[in-house]
Amino acid sequence: MKRIIVTGGAGFLGSHLCERLLNEGNYVISIDNFFTGSKENIKHLFDNKNFESIRYDITEPIHIECDEIYNFACPASPIHYQRNPIHTFKTSVLGILNMLNLARECKARILQASTSEVYGDPLEHPQKESYWGHVNPNGIRSCYDEGKRGAETLMMDYYREYNTDIKIIRIFNTYGPRMNENDGRVVSNFIIQAIKNMPITVYGDGSQTRSFCYCDDLIDGAVKMMNNDNFIGPVNLGNTYEMTVLEFAKKIIDMTNSKSQIIFKNLPKDDPIKRQPDITLAKEKLNWNPNYKLEEGLKKTIEYFNNYINKI
């Protein structure tokens, strides 16, 4: 039985990861400061004797015996990471520094959940791992974009200097049950607005593109990466099926039988115009490919938000 730490374990993706790792017979320790994570996401795991939840902020050092560390701690939506940008940056940079030191101490393998935001507003499309990005270093999104880039730098430097056992994944737009309803992301925004028959807010003219990956597929890729002995990354994990935000809004209206109208608002600063992963490397090195069709994943997500709204 491996002892596995999941930082951000009470978050949207972290909670799905904890569940997966427990189902595989591991002892799982969730570390979360509950800034955006929620006990609701993991309360169904509390009775599992192999699960532990610790309220803690990884910007401070921590010492726990472990075999593996999945570092998923960091607000991932603009509304939340811009709410306290200095703390967001500290979570990415000081957080990974503390986790890398813990990995060295325990001789543990560590996986960093990086992001497609390291590519910024990309000039290359689709984005390959070899692309260095087009990032504004002093804009309102920089706390997240540059924080994650800095975290990748530290991962690689610990690998080169101390031979730390590292893995880096770059997560593209991911959705599914347990998304935070107030995180301002396009999937949760549109679904909630549609269920409530409220106007659906599209920023800009809706021609910007996104590619959406269902959470179970993403977690599968992360676990495959952690268990791969011959590849450190970085590797893109995401779905290659690309569509415009306007097309996506219409799909949500259709799938929820909503009476919502679409309204247009100004595009936020530094919002990426195109986002689509090149996953050739993930296919080749991890034998990974997303399995969920968009409609299949959206059906589960709409059902989750329907139940959530009915409970309120």
**Domain-by-domain residue ranges, the chain?**
3-174+214-238+276-290
Say if residue 86 is exposed, middle or buried (CB neighbours under 10 Å; 0-12, 13-18, 19+): exposed
Catalytic residues: 144
Which residue pairs, CB below 8 angstroms and at least 24 apart, start in 152-159?
152/112, 152/114, 152/118, 152/234, 154/93, 154/96, 154/97, 154/100, 155/96, 155/100, 155/110, 155/112, 158/100, 158/103, 158/104, 159/232
Candidates 116, 122, 59; CA nearest to 90 is 59
Q: What's the start-to-end Cα distance of the chain, in Å?
A: 39
Q: Is 124 helix (H, G, I), strand (E, B) or coil?
A: coil
φ and ψ of 79, to 5 deg? -55, -45
Read off the pLDDT of each residue in 169-191 and give the average, rounded to a whole number. 91
Sheet holding 27-32, edge to edge: 51-55, 27-32, 3-7, 68-71, 109-115, 166-171, 235-237
pLDDT at 77: 63
Read off the pLDDT of each residue in 244-251 and give the average, rounded to a whole number. 96
Are 144 and 117 spatial neighbours (Cβ–Cβ below 8 Å)?
yes
**Host H or E run for residue 138:** none
pLDDT at 185: 84
Q: Please, what's the b/e burial string for 43-76 (b: 16 or more CB within 10 A of its CB; e: otherwise)?
A: eebeeeeebbbeebbbbeeeebebebbbbbbbbb
Does residue 94 have a pLDDT over 90?
A: yes
pLDDT tens for 197-247 read: 999 999 889 999 999 999 999 999 999 999 999 999 999 999 999 999 999
Read off the pLDDT of each residue in 82-107 and give the average, rounded to a whole number. 94
Confidence tier at 312 by pLDDT (50, 70, 90): low
Please state which CATH class domain 3-174+214-238+276-290 belongs to.
alpha beta
Separation between Cα atoms, residue 252 and residue 298, nearest integer Å: 8
pLDDT at 270: 61
Separation between Cα atoms, residue 44 and residue 28, nearest integer Å: 14
Read off the pLDDT of each residue in 276-289 and give the average, rounded to a whole number. 97
For residue 9, give the amino acid letter.
G
% of the chain with per-residue pLDDT over 90 = 83
The partner residues of 236 in beta bridges, in order of sequence, read 170
Does residue 268 have a pLDDT over 80?
A: no
Read off the pLDDT of each residue in 130-138 and give the average, rounded to a whole number. 93
pLDDT tens for 17-72 read: 999 999 999 999 999 999 989 999 999 999 999 999 999 999 999 999 999 999 99
